[in-house]
Structure 1
Amino acid sequence: MTIKFIAIDLGGVLFSEGKAFARKGWSLEGYDVDLLHSLMVSPPSMDLRKGIINDHQFWNEFLPTKIPPHYDVNKIKSIYYDGYLLDQDIANFIEKCKQQGIQAVAFSGNIPSRVEYLDNKYSFRKLFDKECYSYDHQATKPDVYFVEALIKVCYPKETESIKLSHGKPLEGDNLKTFSELGPSILYLDDNPKDSKPALNYNIQVFNYQRGKFDELSKFITEKGINIKL
């Protein structure tokens, strides 16, 4: 099976999922962990991920109205940002794929400032040839629109004439085109719910768990994928 692109989710694949770290850090500060977690997955948080509102609107206008006055917004944000740790197995995997002529695509439903923070800390963006972020497409996982946007990022010329519409998945010949391109993409996510829509486009999906790189290696071998590890 010929793979031309590896699509790597940031949170949970390239980086460890930061929720547990954030909850522990907030707890040590004496903050209401459940309250803060609920705000990080609230509708305004989703709007921030989609690029509908900006960081200032979320952190400086929305959040202070929802937390006790003695809570430090900057401390909350810092703990939230610090939760991601680089998975060196995946970083090495990306490098090996690129050496074999396979392009690497980063994707994420994260917020702009957190992506910037992680790049400043790890310089991870240099690993990738292309990027697909929720805030660039006003859609996040598990929306099928996000998967369609990812395919367009991989194949801009082949899909140039096809227009995407929010809430209206591709049909007919357009769906056929995307479904024919899908098998050349290996898609790594840590959440089966988030990765499920990619299966609609015949994308090769693997749900990765940190520390279990051997399972990814086994998947590649069993599928006969053209990646030498």
Structure 2
Amino acid sequence: MIRTFLFDMGNVLAFFSHDKMCEQMGGLCGRSRAEIQKLLIESGIQWEYERGRLSPAEFHSWFEQTVGQSVDIQALQTAGSDIFELNSTIIPVLDALKTQGYRLVLLSNTCVSHFEFIWNEFEVLQRFDDYVTSYTAGAIKPDPAIFQCALEKIQCAPEEAFYTDDIVEYISQARLLGMQAEVFTDTETLISQLARREILV
């Protein structure tokens, strides 16, 4: 019997674009999208930010030093975070699960800026009972450490938890730990996956 549902955030609860992020951040300093992608994504700095090894202030300082000019910190946070579109079709699913008494836990690779943006912009994260984020866990999926944090939050046996994520590798890791897990492709498919487990939403 399933007691807890774990949801990824990016491309499950809300769709996002790293290309848009790099383009908007580049617009603040006269750099191209490709240049920012190389500085931010290919260098691994974004993943360090998502591991919580940089605070927003430290990330801002890194960005200014890297591009060689001053950039307003609020403008930088907006450029880097205003990249999400709510998956509105998932809201009725979350509400139905809550109504039926299931526990909802977020399990997401994300930085504090992105989490706070989604919290403030959309009323979706407020539906969750607990949160496992890479920046608080100090690890990003598929690192075992973040999944261990999740096991502590689910308040049930691993086999009583269901996890959905758009990344196949992360689903594989969850299954190794004993969770029920399915790759997220779209909400309609998720509803079918739940129906096969006799959960109707």
TM-score range, shorter chain: 0.7 to 0.9
State the aligned residue count: 199
The residue number in structure 2 matching 1:49 is: 50
Is contact 1:141–1:194 with CA below 8 Å preserved after alignment? yes
Give the 3-state SS of the residue equivalent to 2:37 in structure 1. Answer: helix
Give the aligned partner of residue 187 of structure 1: 163
1:215 corresponds, among 180, 183, 189, to 189
The gaps in structure 1 that reach 5 residues or longer are 159-180
Q: Which moved more, 1:40-49 or 1:24-33?
A: 24-33
CA separation of 1:83/1:226 partners in 2, compared to 1, >3 Å: closer, same or farther?
Answer: same
The one-letter amino acid of 2:162's match is: L
Residue 73 of structure 1: CA displacement?
6.2
Corresponding residue for residue 5 of structure 2: 6
1: distance between equivalents of 2:117 and 2:85?
A: 12
How far apart are residue 218 of structure 1 and its match? 2.1
Q: Please identify the structure whose Cα radius of gyration is greater.
A: 1
Give the letter for the 1:22 counterpart.
M
* Deviation larger for 134-143 or 31-40: 31-40
CA distance, structure 1, for counterparts of residue 40 and residue 160 of structure 2 = 34
Query: Secondary structure of 2:85's partner?
Result: coil
Distance 1:120 1:74 in 2: 15
Q: What is the CA-CA distance between 1:26 and the residue it aligns to?
A: 5.3
Corresponding residue SS for 1:85:
strand
Give the RMSD, CA atoms, in angstroms: 2.3
The answer to whether residue 109 in structure 2 is matched with residue 104 in structure 1 is: no
Q: Does 1:197 align with 2:173?
A: yes
Q: Distance in 1 between matches of 2:112 and 2:168?
A: 24
Q: Which ranges of structure 2 fall in alignment gaps of 5 or more residues?
A: none
Distance in 2 between the 1:52 and 1:89 partners?
34
| TM-score between the two structures when normalised by the length of structure 2 | 0.86
Fraction of identical pairs, as percent: 19
Task: Return closer, same or farther for 1:38/1:207 CA change in 2, 3 Å cut-off.
Answer: farther
- Give the TM-score taking structure 1 as reference length: 0.77
Deviations 1:81-136 (A, max 9, x none): 11111111112111111111111111211111221121111133321011111122
